Chains A and B, each alone.
Chain A
């Protein structure tokens, strides 16, 4: 950057603003890096690690070894992945088809259907009535309870309708005149043209699925069906150390007694964050592109 340009930035107000923003970013980045550093630290050295250190003390994979040697952990990760993948596919399939139908001009009863959906969004039946329905449908202790109970989010459906409304009407009309069926128009025109929106939608749903801990904790009663977030919660929030190491391991391995629980927690948290970090670029690419396009206009 040229100095003359730099000088424009260096007003006291701008310096104050940049300092404030950098501080805010540090509060978000430092705790995450600290946890990452702890998880890769040598357990013998990580015990007294401060919350501000962002570089591992020594290097060791022992924390991850311990976490993965818990025989509940690997199935729990698979369960989480299954629920996330199948659940997201279901979410996106239902949301996009419904959004397509609801954005077609001249759909009968559209007003009533939208009213119904908005009412469903506003009124929350509460935990017990929903629990009883899951019981009645015999879905308890199957992943389908968690997958089906959050199949469509009205808020995301409305967002998807906005995306589909942005598809040029002329394309739709031309396709109709050509005699293309609704399914074909949906699959070959709307999905590709609203690609960015659908990708964002996928990401939102997938993150919500991966982060689901509450319903999974209630509906998946046996430990073989449980998910990563449920185990994480038992360990991190409820402080149940047996949950993370596995009761069997606690008895078998004396050397695990030396392990630093705080570092183990960190390793579990990192495992739970990694899929989100993998999905995050998608949202940035599609979601912030609009914002950036807006910014460029200035």
Chain B
């Protein structure tokens, strides 16, 4: 595996992959090369990833995969094209500009890139998922949208606090995958008691997950009010666009007149306002406090923190902030931001799902990578096939939960007696240390 660019994303992917693969990182900055060599169990090479000689030095001819993850779109594209020219490696490029993504999607082989991920778009999609499912800290869809995974906070006033899992689970098509209590991650049984401040990871049909969201926090049912997006960055733009697609009213605040005009032209259904979002007088006059969710998508973490706090102060229910520095996510959430979204983490997650061995179709990292929810198409020689789950689950590590099954597009509720067939799609939860083993077993 060759990773070009040792930024946050590159490092995060490398760290993820280094357990199971030989990873080579190509990086131009010598200090960074040294740092990586010390910090991670990978080989860091100094050089320009766009030059054939550097790539050959990294043994590109024998590489299975080349991941271009520098901060520059064009560089990433050239890296992939170059790698494709001299090897058969699977190439993954990370881009910011959605224009490239659009070009690539038209032929799926443009630029010699086998898979392209767009930072801003992914971050925006992730924000929209969180916004669309209030009370959820995290949400992801599987099996063409038929299965949804969500992570909820059990608040003090939540009616769920004090109930057992058996009492709380009133939905047929919902599986409680895990309960996170402090540093501990529990696999719940029917008698597990839920407490305030627990986090709950559930897998089920989108409808049941949405309905369950109402149980967790009855005050915050499905999004009905307005969303205010602060900052017309690329992420802010995509959030506005995606919300408009879903018929959600949104206002977008942008300070720069030219950018505001451009956004207003591209977003016919969004009300774009040219203003400084930290102007309290404006926030009150325009009743920003009445908004259901405020999404802070300005270009700096500090501004996003400030904007989120200000909006909560004028009365907004929920705030979602884009946070570039992954170290800040926990801090900001502690200070008062409801959900922090780190674009790099989102991208690393997306790339990781492609690098997983064992043919995992889709992967979501939960609890900052402590566990995974993955979708797998079951092969005929999988130990799961042919036996009721109650029996077959024994061959898997302990902390694996089968959350949902789809067969030919039909949702099947996994029960002890359910028999899995080859070709079924299984969405399962696994602690990170077993995830790869499980993926290769099935």
A and B, one complex? no
* A residues apposed to B, CB below 8 Å: none
* B residues apposed to A, CB below 8 Å: none
